[in-house]
Amino acid sequence: MNGPALGTARPLGATLRRATVLPLSDSALPYRDGWVWLSQWVGASRLAWRQLRCEPTRLFAAVTGVMFATVLLVMQLGFRSALFDTATALPRALHAELVLINPMTMALFRAEPLPRVRGFEALAVPEVTKAVPIYLAQVFWRNPINGRHRAIQLIGFDAEGGVVRIAGLVPLVPLLRRVDAVAFDALGRPEYGDIAALLSRPGALDAQIGSHEVHVVGTVRLGANFGADGNVVMSSTTFHRIVPNMRRSDASVIALKLRPDADPTRVQAELRRFLPPDVDVLTHRQLVQREREYWASTTPIGIIFAFGCFLGLVVGIVIVYQILFTDITNHLREYATLKAMGFTNQYFDQVVICEAMMLAGLGLMPGILLSAVLYRYAAAGTYLTLNLTGQRCALVMVLILAMCISAALLTLHKLRRADPAEMF
């Protein structure tokens, strides 16, 4: 072993030549040396891990707390995102550069009537190639199995216009030309009946919407939202046969297709110049954004989920703070000893911050994995689309890290109280 042999005549100081004594001048202390700074962090992280590991029960409690905060965040963000995704499913399904909408319309599920003639007027602009009216209404659907009624969203439009893209619609376009033919949204709630299973049986499937008999020719996939538990897609002709009291001259929204080389913003400005004030011209993005903002701010739903996220972070900060505070309190005399030996407050700050980051790392992955499992159950129970995206995982990672580091920063004042002079 090449170490100092204290029993020999050679002084320990000569053997430990490399363990140099630091000069006293403040400026000579190597705080600004990059390598020293990095090695300090490495040493601090080593001590941090050892401090955490030696108390397995407390470590488990801390990791569980971070996991809980992670799950809470992921679920809240997931529900919030599902709210926006499902609420904007129909606007996002519009394959149109511009839309005409009644300025009083806050959300499509409650669209105010819009004169259909505005679509014809918009065609006066050369860049506008198509103006397709879309009709929306909520009517009662009768479950073909148990006979129970439940409100459902009707979506009527010319499917051949190509302005609406819903999964599963394309093969049904020829069939929807038929009068009273409808396509059922398979992602709706099961209370409408297992329409997909009924369709797989031989023979036609008839259903009742309002007091009108319809023929179900297939299924599409759009999804339930907070405004409607299900959807039925049909031609505008069939729509007005089911909802005769809704005037054909009034649409819910009019989708405008532009020439490929057209600038939507410029065309929007031009349309706004000459169209009357009973119609608003929005880009596709603006329509989606309006829908999002409605659910986010006009109803308490967005606020509730945002508050849920905030609560999750606060709970996480409290738990991590408590764990770190207890850890510091229990090791205060040890830290004071290290201060006496010459370790600085900066070093201890690094130890605590490293502990916090380790807790974040240890709790984050299990929390996300558990959230993925919970997403499945929640999606099955709510019929909402819950996706654990990479973007959401990255956001949660940043939030959890910030949460843990915030808790660590709150405990640093405790570290300052480790007075080495008090140990004597």
Partner 1 sequence: MILADINLTLEPGEIVILTGPSGSGKTTLMTLIGALRAVQTGSCLVLGHQLSGAGERARVAVRRQIGFVFQDHRLLGALSAAQNIAMSLEIDSSLGERDRMRWAIAILEAVGLADYAAARPDELSGGQRQRVAIARALVRNPGLILADEPTAALDRQNGRAAIELVADLARRRGLAVLIVTHDLRISGVANRTLSMEDGRIDGHMAYYEVSD
Nearest distance from C-beta of residue 67 to partner 1, angstroms: 23
Angle between helices 390-416 and 56-87 (to 10 degrees): 140
Among 32, 34, 43, 208, binds partner 1 (CB under 8 A): 43
Nearest distance from C-beta of residue 330 to partner 1, angstroms: 9
Among 16, 123, 394, 398, binds partner 1 (CB under 8 A): 16
Residue with smaller CB distance to partner 1, 30 or 126: 30
Residue with smaller CB distance to partner 1, 55 or 121: 55
Q: Is 397 left (phi over 0), alpha (psi -120 to 50) or beta?
A: alpha
End-to-end CA distance of the chain: 37
Q: What gap in Å lies between CA 107 and CA 225, rounded to an integer?
A: 12
Site membership for partner 1, residue 13 (CB under 8 A): yes
> What sign results for the dihedral spanned by CA atoms 277, 283, 288, 290?
negative
Q: What gap in Å lies between CA 327 and CA 62, rounded to an integer?
A: 11
**Contact stretch for partner 1 (CB under 8 A) within 16-24, 69-77, 170-178, 287-295:** 16-24
CB 166 within 8 A of CB 92: no
CB 79 within 8 A of CB 386: yes
Strand pairing class (181-185; 212-220)? parallel
- Four-CA torsion 28, 34, 35, 38, nearest 10 degrees: 120
Q: Which of positions 54-113 make contact with partner 1 (CB under 8 A)?
A: 54
**Contact stretch for partner 1 (CB under 8 A) within 88-96, 246-254, 376-384, 416-424:** 416-424
**Contact stretch for partner 1 (CB under 8 A) within 17-25, 114-122, 165-173, 374-382:** 17-25
Among 21, 203, 211, 390, binds partner 1 (CB under 8 A): 21
What are 420's two structure tokens?
């080495």
CB 371 within 8 A of CB 69: no
Count the alpha carbons within 13 Å of 379 in the hemisphere toward its beta carbon: 16
How far does CA 217 lie from the centroid of its chain?
Answer: 34
**Contact stretch for partner 1 (CB under 8 A) within 38-46, 57-65, 114-122, 302-310:** 38-46
Site membership for partner 1, residue 423 (CB under 8 A): yes
Site membership for partner 1, residue 18 (CB under 8 A): yes
Site membership for partner 1, residue 333 (CB under 8 A): yes
Nearest distance from C-beta of residue 321 to partner 1, angstroms: 20
Hey, which residues does 221 pair with through a beta bridge?
A: 167
What are 104's two structure tokens?
């009083």
Residue with smaller CB distance to partner 1, 278 or 422: 422
**Contact stretch for partner 1 (CB under 8 A) within 15-23, 80-88, 361-369, 393-401:** 15-23
Site membership for partner 1, residue 190 (CB under 8 A): no
How far does CA 80 lie from the centroid of its chain?
Answer: 6
Site membership for partner 1, residue 20 (CB under 8 A): yes
Q: Which of positions 335-354 make contact with partner 1 (CB under 8 A)?
A: 337-338, 340-344
What is the size of the binding site for partner 1 (CB under 8 A)? 47
Site membership for partner 1, residue 36 (CB under 8 A): yes
Neighbours of 175 (CB within 10 A): 14
Site membership for partner 1, residue 362 (CB under 8 A): no
Q: Which of positions 237-266 make contact with partner 1 (CB under 8 A)?
A: none
Ordered alpha helix ranges (H), 331-389: 332-341, 345-382
What residues line the site for partner 1 (CB under 8 A)?
A: 1-7, 11-13, 16, 18-26, 29-30, 35-36, 39-40, 43, 46-47, 50-51, 53-54, 331, 333-334, 337-338, 340-344, 420-421, 423-424
